[in-house]
């Protein structure tokens, strides 16, 4: 773990400026679709991807961090979630397709003219047991026929395209799965919003696929390759999650400190209370640890698609975000319960411990490789 290449250089100032220009013209409360369009119109998604990688376009980690930090600063977690899933996993996965529909959808999405939702979590299986999924396609009269359902899909309610993980034969073997590009307006597709007051701007919803007929060129990537490509690109999504987690916890800590400084108890600002200071400092330690782990593992995740490193990072994100935001909410007192206040932010941040894999699943996989992790923790030189 210690022998890693240096962290990537910070993003070119031009990219951060481009993101700034795209976002500054937007009104407060602009929804995810509007933010996505504005980013595309300013060439942000186009510039985000390093092309020429053998696995297709992958986001440059420095640029991805700059983008997510700028979007997070707008203060709408639903919008940030939507941008994160599309840039970090949906578009790179879509780019594994070489047939005309996938190429066209990718070009539209990179330009911000269309949005893509990644529909893996299945109606018939727990998200933690993905290879048990029930959504399947058959080939009938030269057409694909897709049946099943997906749930908790970020952006499903506003998506133009759904990238659906489906099986083409029974059984759990990882070669039994293939991506299918489904136009959201195809006959047999219906989407209903998730019944939640959290992350509403993300357009998260559930998808029913009732005998959806599509030409066979709507398969994305080689049949049987879906799980392998998913695993590679999930590593990037987990890296992106950690980048967003650092930006979000830092932002909420800054706001919490501002409140503690301005609020006096018995003539003393709360910020000067020793117990409060220690509590706050403990949060700083946790976020600094997460940031250090992120910086250490970024080259392995971005460069080598190291899924084990990404799982370790995701487990740390799940544990850190809830602990820090929970303390921030408490330190903001009753005001933390205000509309869209710190308690609401903390509740929304539960997605860090679930989306793309529950924290416990990450921990179980980490325990499976305990020997290798302990070896990497050999004495510092």
Q: At what angle do helices 226-262 and 61-72 cross, to 10 degrees?
A: 50
Instruction: Establish if 118 lies at the interface with ligand FAD (CB under 6 A).
Output: yes
The answer to whether the CB of 128 falls within 8 A of the CB of 363 is no
Shortest distance, CB of residue 196 to ligand FAD, whole angstroms?
Answer: 8
Query: In whole angstroms, what is the distance from residue 136 CA to residue 120 CA?
Result: 12
Query: In whole angstroms, what is the distance from residue 381 CA to residue 379 CA?
Result: 6
Shortest distance, CB of residue 81 to ligand FAD, whole angstroms?
Answer: 6
- Displacement of CA 355 from its chain's centroid (Å): 7
288 by Cβ neighbours in 10 Å (0-12 / 13-18 / 19+) ranks as: exposed
Instruction: Establish if 179 lies at the interface with ligand FAD (CB under 6 A).
Output: no
Which residue number, 115 or 332, has a Cβ lying nearer to ligand FAD? 115
* Residue from the set 214, 301, 313, 351 that interacts with ligand FAD by CB under 6 A: 351
Residues 6+ apart with CB under 8 A from 244: 68, 69, 72, 80, 84
Shortest distance, CB of residue 153 to ligand FAD, whole angstroms?
Answer: 5
Which residue number, 360 or 375, has a Cβ lying nearer to ligand FAD? 360
Which segment (15-23, 273-281, 309-317, 350-358) binds ligand FAD by CB under 6 A?
350-358
- Grouping H, G, I as helix, E, B as strand and the rest as coil, residue 295 is helix
Which segment (53-61, 283-291, 321-329, 347-355) binds ligand FAD by CB under 6 A?
347-355
Query: In whole angstroms, what is the distance from residue 282 CA to residue 253 CA?
Result: 11
The answer to whether the CB of 186 falls within 8 A of the CB of 161 is no
Residues in contact with ligand FAD, shown as a per-residue x/- string from 77 to 116 under the rule CB under 6 A:
--------x-------------------------------
**Cα angle 62, 49, 306; round to 5:** 65
Query: In whole angstroms, what is the distance from residue 361 CA to residue 2 CA?
Result: 24
Which segment (148-156, 175-183, 277-285, 321-329) binds ligand FAD by CB under 6 A?
148-156
Q: How many residues bind ligand FAD (CB under 6 A)?
A: 22
Instruction: Establish if 315 lies at the interface with ligand FAD (CB under 6 A).
Output: no
* Residue from the set 178, 204, 249, 298 that interacts with ligand FAD by CB under 6 A: 204
Instruction: Establish if 356 lies at the interface with ligand FAD (CB under 6 A).
Output: yes
Query: In whole angstroms, what is the distance from residue 77 CA to residue 187 CA?
Result: 32
Which residue number, 18 or 150, has a Cβ lying nearer to ligand FAD? 150
Which residue number, 56 or 357, has a Cβ lying nearer to ligand FAD? 357
Name the residues that contact ligand FAD, by CB under 6 A. 85, 118-121, 126-128, 152-154, 199, 204, 351, 354-358, 360-361, 364
């Amino acid at each position: 773990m210690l022998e890693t290449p240096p962290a990537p250089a910070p993003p070119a100032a031009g990219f951060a400026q481009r993101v700034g220009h795209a976002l500054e013209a937007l009104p407060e409360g602009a929804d995810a679709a509007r933010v996505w369009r504005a980013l595309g119109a300013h060439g942000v998604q186009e510039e985000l991807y390093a092309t020429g990688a053998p696995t297709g376009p992958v986001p440059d980690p420095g640029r991805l961090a700059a983008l997510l930090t700028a979007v997070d600063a707008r203060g709408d977690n639903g919008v940030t979630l939507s941008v994160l899933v599309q840039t970090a996993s949906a578009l790179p996965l879509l780019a594994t397709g070489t047939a005309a529909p996938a190429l066209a959808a990718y070009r539209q999405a990179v330009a911000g003219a269309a949005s893509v939702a990644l529909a893996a979590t299945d109606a018939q299986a727990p998200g933690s047991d993905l290879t048990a999924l029930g959504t399947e396609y058959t080939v009938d009269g030269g057409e694909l026929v897709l049946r099943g359902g997906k749930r908790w899909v970020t952006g499903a309610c506003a998506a133009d395209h759904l990238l659906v993980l489906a099986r083409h034969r029974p059984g759990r073997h990882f070669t039994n799965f293939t991506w299918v590009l489904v136009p959201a307006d195809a006959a047999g597709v219906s989407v209903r919003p998730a019944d939640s007051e959290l992350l509403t701007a993300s357009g998260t919803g559930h998808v029913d696929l009732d005998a959806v007929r599509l030409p066979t060129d709507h398969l994305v990537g080689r049949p049987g390759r879906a799980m392998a490509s998913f695993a590679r690109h999930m590593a990037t999504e987990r890296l992106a999650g950690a980048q967003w987690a650092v930006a979000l916890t830092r932002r909420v800590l800054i706001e919490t400190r501002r409140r503690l400084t301005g609020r006096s108890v018995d003539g003393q600002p709360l910020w000067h209370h020793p117990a409060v200071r220690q509590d706050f400092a403990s949060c700083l330690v946790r976020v600094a640890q997460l940031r250090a782990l992120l910086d250490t593992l970024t080259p392995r995740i971005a460069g080598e698609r190291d899924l084990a490193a990404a799982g370790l990072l995701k487990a740390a994100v799940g544990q850190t975000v809830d602990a820090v935001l929970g303390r921030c909410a408490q330190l903001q007192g009753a005001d933390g319960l205000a509309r869209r206040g710190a308690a609401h932010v903390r509740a929304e941040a539960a997605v860090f411990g679930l989306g793309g894999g529950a924290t416990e699943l990450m921990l179980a996989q980490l325990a499976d490789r305990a020997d290798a992790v302990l070896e990497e923790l050999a004495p510092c030189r």
